[in-house]
Amino acid sequence: MAEPCFRARYWNLLPLQSVGLFLFLSIASSIAGTITAEEPNKLPGVIELSRALNEFPQLPAIAPAPHDWPWWRGPHLDNHASASVALPGLTERSIRWQHEIPGRGHASPLICGDLVVLATADNEQQVHSLLARSVSTGDPVWQTDLHRGGFQKDSHRNNSHASATPAFDGQRFFTAFIHERGLWVSAVDTHGKILWQTKAGEFDALYGFGMAPALWGPLVIVNGDNDRPGAFLAAIHRQTGEIVWRIKRPNIDTYGTPIVVNLAGRDQLLLGGSGSMCSYDPATGKLLWKCAGPTAETTANTVAFSKDSVFVTGGYPKPYIAMGIRADGNRDVDDTHVLWTNQRAMSYVPSPLYSDGLLYVLNDDGVITCLDEAKGKPVWSKRLGGDYSASPLLVGNKIVLCSEQGLVTAIAAGRSFKELEQLDLAEPIFATPAITPAGLFVRTLKKLIRFRD
């Protein structure tokens, strides 16, 4: 999963400490935007940057294969399986293979061609790695160690040091890890070779990190929100590793993953948190519109969207809400574009799921609520039991839910609740599963499991 796997009720135990956040870039240098690990951390706060895209090499379009699961929330960023994909039976007989994964990570698996790709972290040796397994057998193909040492001293008990799901543009895998108090982005080719590594900015949050990189055009975009001086949003060129733009964000600890989708006739970089739901121009980082909510401070998930609206939920502190917002606004849209708010249906960690006029909101404590898109009114609500960090996944007319206790449940999508099937894997699940024609891939705390009929 991209969002950190935190239990929301623990977040108010300790305040985060103050620390400077810095990002150095030499525009004149041919290595601008790429910083080595040996450079000092005692540097001033965020320096905003804006460079024109025409200063950088043009790149082919982002082009994963049609049936890949190439990044957080799948090919269309909505956590929907492709229309041709059916959900395998949730039975022991449907398990084609299961293998232990070294280290620990809550990042979702990527399915790219004949590879399953995972981010993981060896906590004892303090090594961040990207590893590839065979789709057909689960056997190791390659493993690349990206960082050694420099793990964060503090992280939430339900987070990991590898919670950010990588992204794949058809040629390169992009990872985001915290190393030596910095947010580092790496590009790795399909054979496991490191192409470049860039320090996007300093980052040192008490509850860790889990925001996945987002891809758009020639850019890989990362969120560096935290409550220390220097919260930022940055875009890096996919080929060169140079920082193209960087903007300051409010200094609030928030853990949402940005996504870029085309809404209301324009590409919009959407990010909830820091007290506002914001839309940015992905080419420049300039603000398009914003509104207050869904909480005064923190969200830890990813927004959902329809053809012309955005749905966001969170977080901490109370009161927190789910809300629907029209996406065709400009600047401050508090009084003009908020469609509805709902204070009884919210989620902190699992991301909401939108489909066919309905919004499904699964909260951390195991209550799933179906809301009507137009007015935000509850259609039905059901207590499932257990705790949830993984986000709901839509496969045809079924929704897959994975609990931290190891239950994998399929329910019917639609205007009435119906449980269809369930399997107990008897091992905690924090990562959101991925699905392609090759099967359903579920990452537990220690294993990767492939289901296929």
pLDDT, tens digit, 9 for 90 and up, residues 132-160: 999 999 999 999 999 999 888 767 778 89
User: What is the average pLDDT across 189-214?
Assistant: 93
The span from the CA of 371 to the CA of 170, in Å, is 36
pLDDT band at 15 (very low <50, low <70, confident <90, very high): very low
φ and ψ of 53, to 5 deg:
-65, -25
| pLDDT number for residue 154 | 65
For the chain, what is the mean pLDDT? 89
Residue 451 pLDDT: 98
Residue 19 pLDDT greater than 80, yes or no: no
The secondary structure of 112-172 as a DSSP string is ETTEEEEEEEETTTTEEEEEEEETTT--EEEEEEEEES---S---TT--S--S--EE-SSE
Domain boundaries, the chain: 8-54+64-451
- CA-based end-to-end distance of the chain: 25
Task: Give the pLDDT confidence score for residue 159 in this predicted structure.
Answer: 87
Alpha carbon distance 336, 292 (integer Å):
12
Distance CA 55, CA 124 (A): 43
pLDDT band at 10 (very low <50, low <70, confident <90, very high): very low
- What integer pLDDT is reported at residue 40 of this predicted model? 31
pLDDT confidence band for 37 (50 / 70 / 90) = very low
Q: Is 6:156 a contact under the CB 8 Å cutoff?
A: yes
Which strands make up the sheet holding 127-134, listed edge to edge?
110-112, 115-122, 127-134, 140-148
- Distance CA(2)–CA(350), nearest Å, equals 10
CATH (residue range 8-54+64-451): 2.130.10.10
Percent of the chain at pLDDT exceeding 90: 78
Residue with more model confidence, 321 or 110: 110
**pTM for this entry:** 0.90
Structure tokens of 104?
Answer: 């620990």
For 154, other C-beta atoms within 10 Å of its C-beta total 14
Q: What is the mean pLDDT of residues 204-233?
A: 90
Mean pLDDT, rounded, for 415-426: 98
CA geometry: angle 2, 378, 330, nearest 5 deg? 60
Is 386's pLDDT higher than 80?
yes
Structural contact between residues 349 and 300, judged by C-beta atoms closer than 8 angstroms: yes
Rounded to the nearest angstrom, the gap between the alpha carbon of residue 177 and the centroid of all alpha carbons in its chain is: 13
pLDDT value at 31 more than 50 = no
Taken as a whole, the chain contains a residue count of 453
95-102 mean pLDDT: 98
Provide the pLDDT for residue 83: 92
* Distance from the Cα of residue 423 to its chain's centroid: 26
Which single residue is written with the structure tokens 């192409």?
195
pLDDT level of residue 226 (50, 70, 90 thresholds): confident
Residue 332: the pLDDT is: 97
pLDDT given for residue 28 in this prediction: 33
Handedness of CA 443, 413, 88, 385 (dihedral sign): positive
pLDDT digits (tens, 9 = 90+) for 260-312: 999 999 999 999 998 999 999 999 999 999 999 998 888 899 999 999 999 99
Residue 47 CB-density burial (10 A; 0-12 exposed, 13-18 middle, 19+ buried): middle
Tokens of 267: 């590409």
> Residue 27: is its pLDDT beyond 60?
no
